[in-house]
Amino acid sequence: MGSDNITIKLNVIIFDYAECNVLKSHFRSVQLFVLGGDVKHACVDLIKTDKKEGIFNNDIKSKQIKMIHKSTIDKRTFKSVTLSNSLLCLLISDPETEKSAAALNVDVGSLEDPVDRMGLAHFCEHMLFMGTDKYPNENEYQQYISKNAGQTNAFTSELNTNFFFSVANQALEGALDRFAQFFISPLFSDSCTEREMKAVDSEYNMNLQNDFWRKFQLFHNASLPGSQYNKFMIGNLKTLQFEDTRARLQEFHKRYYSSNVMKLVIYGSQPIETLEGWAQTYFEAIQNKNLAPPSYDAMPFDQTNLGQLIKYVPIKNQDHLEFIYIIDYLYPHYRSCPGKYLSHLIGHEGENSLLSLLIKEDLAQELSAGPSNTMKQFSEMTIRIKLTQKGLQQYLKVIQYVQEYIELLKQKGPQEWIFKEIQAIKQLEFDFLEKGEPFNYVCTLASRMQLYPIEDVLRSPYLMEQYQPELIQKITNQLTGDKLMMFLSSQTFSNQLGNKEEYFGTEYSQSKFHEDITSVFKIASNNISPKLNLPPQNIYIPEHTNVLPSQNGLPQFPELVLQNEQTDLWFKQDDRFQVPKTVIQLRINSIETGYGKLAKTEAIAKLWLALLKNHVREFNYLAEMAKIDATLQLAPNGLEISISGFSDSISRFVIGMFQKIISFKPEDYQDLYESTFVKITQELENFKRSQPYQQVHSLISVVLKEGSSFETQELLDQLTNITFDDVIHFSNNFLKRCRFEWLIMGNLVKEEAIKIAEKSLDLFKAKTLRYEQVLQIRPVMLNEQEICNYTYDLTEPTETNSGIIVHYQIGKSDLRTQLYNEILQTIMKTPFFAQLRTTEQLGYAVFSLLSDVRGIAGFTFLIQSNVKCPNYVQQRIRTFINENLNKQITEMTEQDFEQFKSSVKVQLLEKDYSLIKESARMWIEVQKHQRLFDRRAQQLNILDGIKLSEVQEYFKTYLIEKTKQFEIHAISPTHKKDQEEIKSESLIYNSSDKFKKRHGLYPDYFYQ
């Protein structure tokens, strides 16, 4: 039977919330969204429907009347609707996007795990990917997304579970259909249940050596016994592998997955009306159980378990002191942000700051501070300090200085000028907020929707509307010892602490604050160091945010506007993003002191850079607070400097920073040299304690090129031979003879860019390093039909995971063969993951990647496994390539091939979302000295002509018949025996030097 639907659309203008309430009283449905500017436009729908099955005469499709505040430069259309099943949706129409996306956040997380099935919420997240009644094939969703230029992910937190994806625009409707079925009719099949349980266990094993998770679990364990917070979040076979787990899983989904506690974001190029129709079509079938969101009344922390010090032994050789204050719940005050105010001051790194004092006394090297909301009940103010060796020995002094600074804030009281500075910066940040990738954007917004009113969901991180000094003072007064839990971590505590944590095996001790600590609090309240004070006023907050007027005929790509023997300056005035921002990229090439050729010089350079960063820290930090980001890092050929921020401030900041660099003398920091030496040593040693898959992935670019490529152990060996005089010598000579390569893009004219470059040259006063003198970095040339294997043992005795890379080298590629590589990667990505992770359960971290080692292309297959040794895993990788993938490509239809080509086309058509992203892409072209700024356009012209037979032949040549293979095996102690028992046909190397000497080298294609 049909029904009469009458929709009357009225265009109205809303100036304030009072008018919204008037509209509410006159219309059943009001849908309001910001179209731009300060005036709020609305579209009002008056809907009349007959009462039929599933249709409610007095209910409405949309109950929202909200002004969604957005950035002044945001041209997208936003609209919120509430579906008939009470599912709140945020719809975003962006006609300029090439990628669509969606996210759904469920207001349930790991805190709702049953105590006898911990990890169940996380396991449920995994299982929803594994097939539904409508789409029973467990790989259907992943295959559809992958074929359509997309990606997927999900995560489970304490309070929420978030699922999200991106996909080509034309595939959005199909993706939404498949996605919605997660929440309507998941299969939870027996076969998948057992296998995916092992995937959860692999994820748990991957995190066993992760210090974040180890400390996170200690904090949960320190909560009151029996509290909802006292749980193990990840899950493993021990907590999940029971006969009734599938039934418990179904029960969990049925109990907690209700439409009224879900938030949905849909982002597409389609009109809002189309997106709204899809939301209704595909998501209104999710059952509304009218659940109350989980809430928690009992506090997990009180006077019985606060005022405690927990010491523990970390995996990485770093010493940390962490303060966690339990304070009032801050979320209700998100418009006044007392937490932001306090973290701004406590975490400050400029003049008068807590960190500056700690560094000057050689007690600490890093400090961070920030609030977080927990259990919808209380908040935490966390201060995390990376200690020096002296700081560890004198940690009571560090505690005293922290408390002295907090006491200073209490005595000085809230300062309106500081609040207004933060407020001004946040407002500028929001007003000129550029677009981000839809994939991450929808994920973030869906999470925010569980917390904030829909009208504030876009601007909530930037809101500081109400100055409430009484509230700031109240929260400051709560930063006391009786509301504090402290964590002190160091490997020096090994075998001294007496307790072992159940799930991660962390050695720890836990005790009430002893008298030495409590006395420090008393001292701090009456004795504030004169070196501590409020920060100076910020001179870098921009006063002008004018955007240069658009001009016809501006170059589409960067142009070389200054060139001489010492400098290349590429410049592009922005005419697309129309934001008052500038991005400056600079590489200073140097070969002085043997940089790039000798491991010893590389190690010296690391020490020099660490001291230099400390020299510029206070100067840079004020600019950082005003949203000028500046990074200094060593590059293969020298020093790289990246600066981005508001144009009004950036020119004077750049010159000021260069003056600081030039004035730097290591002699001024000799008292910090020893702790800096220890820091660099620890960082190198800790690389060996990072995840095995991260190690092997990082090593491939080291082992496969000659020049500026040194293994960690080489650098550690050289550190022992370095003196402070070596650092002084390096500093005096490193920038004496240089070549400068620039890219400047943004809201400035060519003359300003040239002025910056020329003034910088005058400041450095360096001798000329000619183009042909720049250090050559040459990739290793692998041999056909040869498998080389670089093998090493992981030294961490408790590491249960091994890492392996299988790399197929292709060689130098042109625009056409780059497209072959992209097409093949699109084809193989999902089946590789599905076979080796989902079906064979070899590990949690399973990746197929395109790689580029100094211009030499290749395919890289990367797996971290806690169940099998590398020799076994490499056999399975080769079986996949030689059998599964070979069969798929050989038998591929033209229709499927065109689908994969279409996916690559979407990637090439995808626009840069921000000035920073565009400049990063252009900078790659400058660095490679190829300057194919229109690379994408050229490849689009080539792509349509590529035939299936070409790609089949290319695959057959480079991955089947004439392969050049290289492997890296990082072997866990638990896999050493199995590794020896399984024979390998590869040539095994234990030294990268020997490997390089036995192979030829490609030219350095970047400097020819």
Which tens digits make up the pLDDT trace of 60-110?
Answer: 344 444 689 999 999 999 999 999 999 999 999 999 999 999 999 999 999
Name residue, tokens 């876009």. Answer: 458
Residue 842's pLDDT band (cuts 50, 70, 90) = very high
What is the side-by-side strand order in the sheet with 786-793? 845-853, 856-865, 802-812, 964-971, 786-793, 987-989
- The CATH number assigned to the domain holding 942 equals 3.30.830.10
On whether the pTM is more than 0.85, the answer is yes
Instruction: Note down the domain range covering 226.
Output: 70-283
**Residues 802 and 874 placed together within one structural domain of the fold:** yes
**Residues 171 and 61 placed together within one structural domain of the fold:** no
**Residues 165 and 105 placed together within one structural domain of the fold:** yes
**Once rounded to an integer, what is the mean pLDDT over residues 944-952?**
97
Examine the fold and report which residue of 773, 794, 820 is the final residue of a domain before the chain moves on: 773
* Of residues 632, 641, 602, 620, the one with CA closest to residue 734: 602
Q: Please give the DSSP secondary-structure letter assigned to residue 265.
A: E
- Judged against a pLDDT cut of 70, whether residue 429 lies above it is answered with yes
Q: What is the pLDDT of residues 804-827, one digit of tens each?
A: 999 999 999 899 999 999 999 999
Does residue 802 lie within any of the structural domains?
yes
Share of the chain above pLDDT 70, in %: 93
Does residue 366 lie within any of the structural domains?
yes
Specify the range with the lowest mean pLDDT, choosing from 111-120, 544-553, 967-976: 544-553
**Residues 755 and 860 placed together within one structural domain of the fold:** no
Does residue 553 lie within any of the structural domains?
no
**Gap between the Cα atoms of 263 and 80, Å rounded:** 11
Residue 646's pLDDT band (cuts 50, 70, 90) = very high
Confidence (pLDDT) at 1008: 65
**Gap between the Cα atoms of 588 and 320, Å rounded:** 35
Examine the fold and report which residue of 773, 790, 820 is the final residue of a domain before the chain moves on: 773
- Judged against a pLDDT cut of 50, whether residue 148 lies above it is answered with yes
Does residue 84 lie within any of the structural domains?
yes
**Residues 276 and 397 placed together within one structural domain of the fold:** no
- Measured over the CA atoms of residue 807, residue 810, residue 812 and residue 818, the dihedral's sign is negative
**Gap between the Cα atoms of 549 and 571, Å rounded:** 17
CB 436 within 8 Å of CB 914: yes
**Residues 75 and 37 placed together within one structural domain of the fold:** no
**Gap between the Cα atoms of 907 and 901, Å rounded:** 10
Q: Please give the DSSP secondary-structure letter assigned to residue 839.
A: I
Torsion of CA 978, 982, 986, 992, to 10 degrees: 10
Specify the range with the lowest mean pLDDT, choosing from 36-40, 224-228, 751-755, 776-780: 36-40
* Of residues 610, 622, 501, 605, the one with CA closest to residue 221: 501
**Residues 865 and 762 placed together within one structural domain of the fold:** no
**Residues 53 and 149 placed together within one structural domain of the fold:** no
Specify the range with the lowest mean pLDDT, choosing from 61-75, 689-703, 756-770: 61-75
**Gap between the Cα atoms of 928 and 943, Å rounded:** 23
Confidence (pLDDT) at 66: 66
**Residues 356 and 375 placed together within one structural domain of the fold:** yes
Does residue 822 lie within any of the structural domains?
yes
Examine the fold and report which residue of 67, 88, 106 is the final residue of a domain before the chain moves on: 67
Whole-angstrom distance between the N-terminal and C-terminal Cα of the chain?
A: 75
Confidence (pLDDT) at 927: 93
**Residues 853 and 818 placed together within one structural domain of the fold:** yes
**Gap between the Cα atoms of 965 and 74, Å rounded:** 48
Confidence (pLDDT) at 30: 29
Count CB atoms within 10 A of the CB of residue 1.
Answer: 5
Q: What is the pLDDT of residues 368-380, one digit of tens each?
A: 999 999 999 999 9
Does residue 300 lie within any of the structural domains?
no
**Gap between the Cα atoms of 300 and 229, Å rounded:** 6
**Once rounded to an integer, what is the mean pLDDT over residues 860-883?**
97
**Residues 761 and 794 placed together within one structural domain of the fold:** no
When divided into structural domains, the chain yields a total of: 5
Count CA atoms within 13 Å of residue 25 on its CB side: 5
Does residue 440 lie within any of the structural domains?
no
**Residues 477 and 577 placed together within one structural domain of the fold:** no
Q: What is the pLDDT of residues 715-761, one digit of tens each?
A: 999 999 999 999 999 999 999 999 999 999 999 999 999 999 999 99
Does residue 104 lie within any of the structural domains?
yes
Amino acid identity, position 841:
Q
Confidence (pLDDT) at 36: 29
